[in-house]
Amino acid sequence: MPPAAYLRWQGHARGLLEPLAALMHPGRADLPLPGRPSDHDAQADRLESFARPLFLAALYLQTTPEPDHAAAATLREKLGTWLRAGLVLGAEPASPEYWGPDANYHQHHVEMGLMAIGLNLARAQLWEPLTAADRALVTAWFATARGGGIVNNNHLFMSVHILEFLGAEGAGRPTDRAIIDAHLDQLETMHRGHGWFEDGANQAYDHYNAYAFHFYGLLWVLLHGHRDPARAARWRGWAKDFLDDYQHAFAASGEHPAFGRSITYRFNACAPFALAVATGATDLPLGRVRRLCTRNVEFFLNRPIKDATSGCLAPGFTDVWPEIVEGYSCPASPYWCAKGFTSLLLPADHAYWSDPEEPLPSENPDGFVRAVRAGGLVFRSLPGGEVELLNAGSMVSNTHLRFGSWKWSKLSYRSGVGFTYAFPEATAWSADAALIASWDDGPSIGRHSTTATALAADHLGFVCNLGRKIGQLGAGVETWVFWREGWLLQLHRVEPRQPVALALGGFALPLETPLSVPFASPGYLAARAPDGRAVALQNLGPAGTPAWDGRLDESTPRLHTHAPFHLTPVITYPRQTSPLVLAALAWSGPAGPEAEPWKPVRLAAGEWLLAHPKLGQWRIVHHALPEWPHPTS
Summarize pLDDT for 258-279 with one digit per residue, the tens. Answer: 999 999 999 999 999 999 999 9
DSSP string, 398-448: GGGGGG-GGGT--SEEETTT--B--SSTTT----TTSEEEE-TTS-EE---
Give CA–CA dist 611/603, Å, rounded: 12
Specify whether the CB–CB gap between 150 and 201 falls below 8 A. Answer: no
Give CA–CA dist 399/335, Å, rounded: 25
Domain boundary among 342, 363, 384: 363
Among 21-30, 384-393, 510-519, 581-590, the range scoring the smallest mean pLDDT is 510-519
Which positions ≥6 away from 402 have C-beta within 8 Å?
A: 327, 425, 426
- Which of the four pLDDT bands, split at 50, 70 and 90, describes residue 402? confident
- 297 within domain boundaries: yes
Sheet holding 607-612, edge to edge: 599-604, 607-612, 616-621
As a whole number, mean pLDDT of residues 175-190 equals 97
Range of the domain at 419: 369-591
Q: What is the pLDDT at residue 633? A: 35
Q: What is the largest CA-CA distance in the chain?
A: 81
Q: What is the pLDDT at residue 632? A: 42
Q: What is the pLDDT at residue 579? A: 94
Which one-letter amino acid corresponds to residue 259? F
The dihedrals phi and psi of 583, each to the nearest 5 degrees, come to: -140, 135
Q: Any alpha helices (H) in 122-267, and if so which ranges?
A: 132-142, 156-168, 176-188, 208, 215-224, 229-246
- Cα four-point dihedral sign 546, 540, 584, 436: positive
Verify that 131 and 228 share a domain, yes or no.
Answer: yes
Domain boundary among 338, 363, 388: 363
Verify that 376 and 358 share a domain, yes or no.
Answer: no
- 629 within domain boundaries: no
Specify whether the CB–CB gap between 71 and 13 falls below 8 A. Answer: no
Rg, Å, the chain Cα set: 25
Q: Supply angle C-alpha 34, 40, 41, rounded to 5.
A: 70
Domain boundary among 346, 363, 380: 363
- 605 within domain boundaries: no
Q: Is pLDDT at 43 greater than 50 in this prediction?
A: yes
* Percent above pLDDT 70 for the chain: 99
Could you tell me the end-to-end alpha-carbon distance of the chain, in angstroms, rounded to an integer? 74
Give CA–CA dist 64/337, Å, rounded: 22
Verify that 235 and 347 share a domain, yes or no.
Answer: yes
CATH number at residue 137: 1.50.10.20
Q: Say how many domains are in the chain.
A: 2
Q: What is the pLDDT at residue 630? A: 56
- 128 within domain boundaries: yes
Verify that 61 and 139 share a domain, yes or no.
Answer: yes
- 354 within domain boundaries: yes
Verify that 82 and 195 share a domain, yes or no.
Answer: yes
Verify that 414 and 306 share a domain, yes or no.
Answer: no
pLDDT (tens digit, 9 = 90+) per residue, 513-561? 998 888 778 899 999 999 999 999 999 987 899 999 999 999 999 999 9
- 606 within domain boundaries: no
CA-CA distances (angstroms) from residue 490 to 538, 585, 620? 10, 6, 12
As a whole number, mean pLDDT of residues 67-95 equals 97
Verify that 189 and 57 share a domain, yes or no.
Answer: yes
Verify that 119 and 157 share a domain, yes or no.
Answer: yes
Specify burial of residue 10 (Cβ count, 10 A radius: 0-12, 13-18, 19+).
buried
- 603 within domain boundaries: no
Q: What is the pLDDT at residue 364? A: 95
- Which of the four pLDDT bands, split at 50, 70 and 90, describes residue 308? very high
Verify that 349 and 373 share a domain, yes or no.
Answer: no
Specify burial of residue 350 (Cβ count, 10 A radius: 0-12, 13-18, 19+).
middle
Give CA–CA dist 295/276, Å, rounded: 18
Give CA–CA dist 585/506, Å, rounded: 8
Verify that 292 and 410 share a domain, yes or no.
Answer: no
The dihedrals phi and psi of 477, each to the nearest 5 degrees, come to: -135, 130
CATH number at residue 446: 2.70.98.70
- 607 within domain boundaries: no
| Helix, strand, or coil (residue 119) | helix
Cα dihedral 558, 560, 562, 564 in deg (nearest 10): -30
**Closest by Cα among 396, 451, 390 to 417:** 390
Verify that 378 and 479 share a domain, yes or no.
Answer: yes
As a whole number, mean pLDDT of residues 490-517 equals 95
Return the exposure string of 116-127: e unless at least 16 CB atoms fall within 10 Å of the residue's CB, then b.
bbbbbbbeebbb
Verify that 398 and 358 share a domain, yes or no.
Answer: no
As a whole number, mean pLDDT of residues 129-133 equals 98
Q: Is pLDDT at 292 greater than 60 in this prediction?
A: yes
Specify whether the CB–CB gap between 420 and 559 falls below 8 A. Answer: yes
Which positions ≥6 away from 530 have C-beta within 8 Å?
A: 511, 512, 513, 515
CA-CA distances (angstroms) from residue 56 to 26, 51, 566, 592? 20, 9, 34, 43
**Mean pLDDT, the chain, integer:** 95
